[in-house]
Amino acid sequence: MSDFFAYKEGRLCAERLDVAELAARYGTPLYIYSAAALSANLCAWQTALGERGAVCYAVKANSNLGVLSLLAARGCGFDIVSGGELERVLAAGGHPKTVVFSGVGKTVGELRAALRAGIGCFNLESAAELEMLNEAAGALGVQAPVAVRLNPDVNANTHPYIATGLRENKFGIDMAQAREVYARARDLPHIRVLGAGCHIGSQLTEIAPFEAALERILHLVDALAADGIELEHLDIGGGLGVAYRDESPPAPADLCAALLERLGGQRLRLVVEPGRSIAANAGILVTQVLLTKQTGVKNFAVVDAGMNDLLRPALYQAWMRIIPVLDQPRPAAVWDIVGPVCESGDFLGKDRTLGLAAGDLLCVRGAGAYSFCLSSNYNSRSRAAELMVCGERAQIVRQRETVADLLRGECPFALDAPQCA
């Protein structure tokens, strides 16, 4: 796969644009996404599945309208987990029939909004949700298309915060209860059963956990057929990992080939919900070194991006590659790259060997997924701008927040109000 963030004569470029020049024009911290990288990553999945299935991008990975509109224009479907994500998909031009709605805590209002929009499928997470959805669909005089998200109790060998397919996780319906839930769904008047699915975790770097989950679901498919319940599709979820450091995840083609082979001659469409593998390496975060600080124990490079801009290192102990934007010959030292937020957990990377000085620009690779979407205004810091590049063209797809944006919706407390009781 081509790298759309590469050095040219010692200067990092995003496609055909100079990253240092972009930073000078748009400021830092700055997220930069490559349209070519997003398109290539999506195409890899679409080619791997062919006519046997559908790609539904996991919106939670990166929900920027610029990203979503690009994917929608290239025929991608969407996996959502909230009503807000549904509104983003629709605003970006996504077709509601390509949307699957996952998530353990859908509200009645969200169910109704999705039913009115006419989404393709609800991934049920509990028996209680099934009853809520039937009632909501009945009130609107429609049938709700559903798949049951199953919990196959498969160890995905990933960080515990992003493992979702074990029995102790909150996601999905236990396999032992599945036939009962399907029987109930079949008998409800406003429910139409379409499929089965699962999602066992994120940043998976092996095919075996996917195969193990699919094997357990296929046993259930046979049992459901004996009960007179025929399914149309299997949703294997997402979670395929990317190379942040030295990981060697399988390519989408290899994963899909293994899963389709296991499906054999069954007339079941395969739905996949990739997020990270489409967006992560299609984005970078550019930050500037504010100052350097030596304590005798540590060398700190304090940058203008903090944990409010990029939470993954603090939240998941995630390792993300950090490289200079300008490849300059300088004596190297071992640095902790830290931000300005008032927390000891505010770091982008530790023990990095770099030749750097105050004023330098640094690039955090792999920042296209689970990066800006986890950002916050902690310490009353404005969130970064997001930029999409396409060849020699750049477009801001989210403006940098201002102080006015930070204060919007708030008001001072009126001290001259009557005393509280």
- Check residue 121 and report its DSSP letter: E
- 333-361: average pLDDT: 97
User: Within a 13 Å sphere around the CA of 188, how many CA atoms are in the beta-carbon half?
Assistant: 26
Give the separation between CA 56 and CA 83, rounded to whole angstroms.
16
pLDDT value, residue 1? 62
Domain boundaries, the chain: 5-32+280-407, 103-272
pLDDT value, residue 172? 76
Active site members: 342
Write down the pTM of the prediction: 0.93
Give the separation between CA 103 and CA 149, rounded to whole angstroms.
9
Q: Taking each helix axis from N to C terminus, what angle separates 175-187 and 208-226, rounded to the nearest 10 degrees?
A: 40
pLDDT in tens, 212-241: 888 889 999 999 999 999 999 999 999 999
Number of CB atoms found within 10 A of residue 351's CB: 10
Question: CA-based angle 108:110:115, to the nearest 5?
Answer: 95
CB of 239 within 8 A of CB of 250? no
Helix, strand, coil distribution of the chain in percent, nearest 5: 35, 25, 40
CATH topology of domain 103-272: TIM Barrel (3.20.20)
pLDDT of 355 over the 70 cut: yes
pLDDT in tens, 283-293: 999 999 999 99
pLDDT value, residue 336? 98
pLDDT of 126 over the 80 cut: yes
CB of 384 within 8 A of CB of 400? yes
What is the chain's mean pLDDT, rounded?
93
For the CA atoms of 245, 248, 253, 259, the dihedral, rounded to the nearest 10 degrees, stands at -120
CB of 278 within 8 A of CB of 61? yes
The neighbouring-strand residues paired with 148 are: 124, 196
What CATH code would you report for 5-32+280-407? 2.40.37.10
Helix (H, G, I), strand (E, B) or coil at 1: coil
pLDDT band at 168 (very low <50, low <70, confident <90, very high): low
pLDDT of 162 over the 80 cut: no
The neighbouring-strand residues paired with 150 are: 173
pLDDT band at 175 (very low <50, low <70, confident <90, very high): confident
